[in-house]
Structure 1
């Protein structure tokens, strides 16, 4: 977390009244930092570190999650965060200010169980800087297939790329758990 002067501030004490957190961290062990903010309602996160320790963490209040695409560990981190956030209503996948897009995304491994938030609460998915790579299509397809209460899924192409008609058609024809979900392309 960046302080006012631009220096790094690392707070690891429990913060039960914190409502919103912006975590942009490259330290290898961020477990204690993440553990201190499990009460947030809104979390923006970018981490080059693996979030393997999150298996034991629970975000009881988290409703809005924004995950940065710049790390190659993106898809495994996304699954861990979804599993830890049963009340999640909104997921935004984007590039944080000043971050460069990843070169290659880690291999998408479909979770063995569907995250609770997809079955009970997720209403909105927004993916900015979407390139249509196979891993991205698999993740969007998985969310559409399992998010029972999804109302909107907005997919925004990266830069000035023109949408590939095949990618659009594939996403439009993807099975959806929510019959009322509107799929929008920008």
Structure 2
């Protein structure tokens, strides 16, 4: 059982702390909450803790080990601006996250697996979203809530993000080029982002990989996407792999069809 102060502005709970909140708390002053590998008695304790922080602006959740209790994080926070979820929980039961945050501007999801779900019910003010290292998450629940995002960073394969949504506000896209068939996800994003102005492709691995990922070919768009015809102005590709045929095809296609392009930059490792 935990007793909380009503004057706290920042609360950090770490490691073997057991959080047992059988009834709603009242922490009106709390603005920042860190939950780092803590133990919750049940999902009700999570709900009571977060709902008792009506003015919460920054929430960081980190889960990294198997727990006996299946937890659903219900996050209802009307003034929440930043939400970071890093979840490497290993388990065979379903749990996950249900998020309602009307003021949310910055979202990071990392490591959330297919054993859980992530439902973002309403985030109309989302500006930046980082989606990395997820594994077959219920993406239809995520992509619908990202339609207002302006600057996403995606580290996914097309199988992990089979989007059919239209991102009308998206102007700045950063994608990692290390997942299988990432180039086909790029095609999906071209077709779904009519106002895209800035594109950055990168592979942040320190060691330069001589051989590319196996499997799949790039599916060139049947028609030139609107963003290439009318809006794309800057294209940056770092750690470009000149020996990978699909990457050469992607680069050639963009340079050929981006009619408003003003700046293009490629950087790679030297040839051995």
TM-score, normalised on structure 2? 0.53
Please report the RMSD computed on the Cα atoms of aligned residues, expressed in angstroms: 2.6
78-87 vs 22-31, greater mean Cα deviation: 22-31
Partner of 1:150: 261
Distance change >3 Å, CA 139–CA 48, structure 1 → 2? closer
Q: Secondary structure at the match of 1:162?
A: coil
Distance 2:183 2:158 in 1: 13
Q: Secondary structure at the match of 2:246?
A: helix
Q: Does structure 1 residue 81 correspond to structure 2 residue 189? A: yes
* Equivalences for residues 81-160 of structure 1 within 5 A: 81-96=189-204, 103-104=213-214, 106-132=216-242, 133-157=244-268
Distance 1:70 1:95 in 2: 6
Q: Is the 8 A contact 1:19 1:39 kept in 2?
A: yes
Partner of 1:173: none
Q: Is the 8 A contact 1:91 1:125 kept in 2?
A: yes
Deviations 1:28-64 (A, max 9, x none): 5312111111101100011245167423x11010000
Partner of 1:46: 155
Q: Is the 8 A contact 2:158 2:182 kept in 1?
A: no
Q: How many residues align?
A: 159
Q: Is the 8 A contact 2:148 2:168 kept in 1?
A: yes
Distance 1:163 1:100 in 2: 11
Distance 1:135 1:17 in 2: 36
Q: Secondary structure at the match of 2:254?
A: helix
Structure with a larger share of its residues in strand: 2
Query: Higher relative CO (CA 8 A, sep ≥ 6), structure 1 or 2?
Result: 1
Unaligned runs of 5+ in 1: 165-186
Deviations 1:98-146 (A, max 9, x none): 8996523631121111111000100011111111121111101000111
Distance change >3 Å, CA 121–CA 91, structure 1 → 2? same
Q: Is the 8 A contact 1:74 1:106 kept in 2?
A: no
Distance change >3 Å, CA 82–CA 99, structure 1 → 2? farther
Structure with a larger share of its residues in helix: 1
Distance change >3 Å, CA 96–CA 116, structure 1 → 2? same
TM-score, normalised on structure 1? 0.75
Report which of the two structures shows the higher radius of gyration computed on alpha carbons: 2
Distance change >3 Å, CA 52–CA 33, structure 1 → 2? closer
